[in-house]
Amino acid sequence: MRFGASTFIWVSPFSNRCLELLRKIRAIGFDVVEICIEDPATIDPSAISPILEETGLAVLTCGVFGPERDISSDDPAIRQRGMDYLFRAIDLSHGVGSRVLAGPMYSAVGKTRLLDNAEREKQRALAVAGIQRAADHARPVGVKLAVEPLNRFETDMLNTVDQSLEFLQMVDRPEVGLLLDTFHMNIEERNLPDALRRAGDRIFHFHACANDRGTPGRDHLPWPMIVAALRDAGYAGDVVIEAFNPGIREIARAVSLWRPLAESEDALARDGLTFLKGVFTT
């Protein structure tokens, strides 16, 4: 089991100007860095790869999906911008050596609408078609897509594992699976360990997040039961801490983070890593 940290803990956006962060993440003790691709134009794989080789860090990537990158939009121009971004993110993932690109790529974060059944099915069909195109682009370069269900306050499309498994069945591409995040699951799943077991081998990536998006372990989540469920599901991928910096106003507003959740970003990462290593190895 490898443990990782999201660049969102410290910076937004991640770019070539933040490369020293990779050395910090390795020095704290992480095996993996999850690079968040906010603006692909600011991230150069040729600058990142030597540092990854130097430090021994593995890399994963996560996409960022705002209103102008919505592949389920009613507006064809917005859908095309969303696909253009997805293709670039896939190519960048391949360039830095990431085997998984994760995130809520089916819609725009914050898109929450009351729709009738016909409108909902149209929205879902557009998302399915877009993810199929992205999977077909990702397959030749060996990148898998991990679709992330979010809580009801952040999306109206995929909130639960069961909804997401139905969506994957519609997509019908082996390259597409799930990113499951304990922060969102804590809100939406009636029984979090059971939901992990139902997801089974469709779990491609996992975010170990506190229920308040603070330090894992300083929360009410049933971590020993979560670990047991992941083992039962056969998950052998990476475990990544995703948290956000309240000092970055745009991100803080986007995720409704109104107060500091740890002494510092470094402390959140360090203490969370210590906890996760302990609970996953007992």
The residues that are catalytic are: 148, 242
Rounded Cα gap, residues 183 and 109, in angstroms: 15
Using alpha carbons, list the distances in angstroms from residue 171 to 35, 163, 167: 26, 13, 6
Q: Please, what is the end-to-end C-alpha distance for the chain in angstroms?
A: 13
Rounded Cα gap, residues 262 and 267, in angstroms: 7
Burial of residue 46, with CB atoms counted within 10 A of its CB: 0-12 exposed, 13-18 middle, 19 or more buried:
exposed
**Which of 72, 61, 152, 69 lies closest to 114, judged by CA?**
152
- Listed in sequence order, the residues at least 6 apart from 132 whose beta carbon sits closer than 8 Å to its beta carbon are 171, 172, 173
**Which of 106, 89, 94, 177 lies closest to 143, judged by CA?**
94
